[in-house]
Amino acid sequence: MKVAFIVDGEPKAKQRPRVVQTDHGSVAYTPRQTKNYEDWVKCCYINQVGRIKLQAPIRATITGVFPIPKSTPKYKRVKMLAGEILHTKKIDCDNLAKAILDSLNKIAYDDDSGISMLVVDKIYGEMPRVEITLEEIGQ
């Protein structure tokens, strides 16, 4: 089985957990921005794919489409849109993948440990978004 969906908006990275000290010890929590983005990814998956749950092993392909900076000259803009200039700035590919894959736990699959193959691309485009394809691969 193969499913594909799009998360509209600028791609976000998974932020590190925050730790605060309390009277009873340390408590770790997920930053609000990360939690909100993970909820948005879940919402996009359910709205576009439904409640389909894939079985491991799974191949995941994630393409982060980033906006072109407004100050970019036209000749560079054309090259960016043609894929001749790739996105090499923050956010890191691994943090983008972590945000997407962690948010789909228990929704698209039982656990992201079932992802056996992963491809992550960062490109420029007119409309910022993340395009995700998940595919069950036979053993």
Retrieve residue 91's tokens: 């956010």
Residue 29 has pLDDT above 90, yes or no: no
Residues 6+ apart with CB under 8 A from 37: 12, 99, 103
Retrieve residue 20's tokens: 């605060």
Q: Round the average pLDDT of the chain to a whole number and report it.
A: 94
Confidence of residue 18 (pLDDT cuts 50, 70, 90): confident
Indicate the domain borders of the chain.
2-136
User: For the domain bounded by 2-136, which CATH number is listed?
Assistant: 3.30.1330.70
3-state secondary structure of 120: strand
Contact 103, 42 (CB under 8 A): yes
Q: Give me the pLDDT at residue 139, please.
A: 62
For 69-93, what is each residue's pLDDT tens digit? 999 999 999 999 999 999 999 999 9
For 91-111, what is each residue's pLDDT tens digit? 999 999 999 999 999 999 999
Among 19-23, 33-37, 41-45, 125-129, the least confident range:
19-23
For 34-73, what is each residue's pLDDT tens digit? 899 999 999 999 999 999 999 999 999 999 999 999 999 9
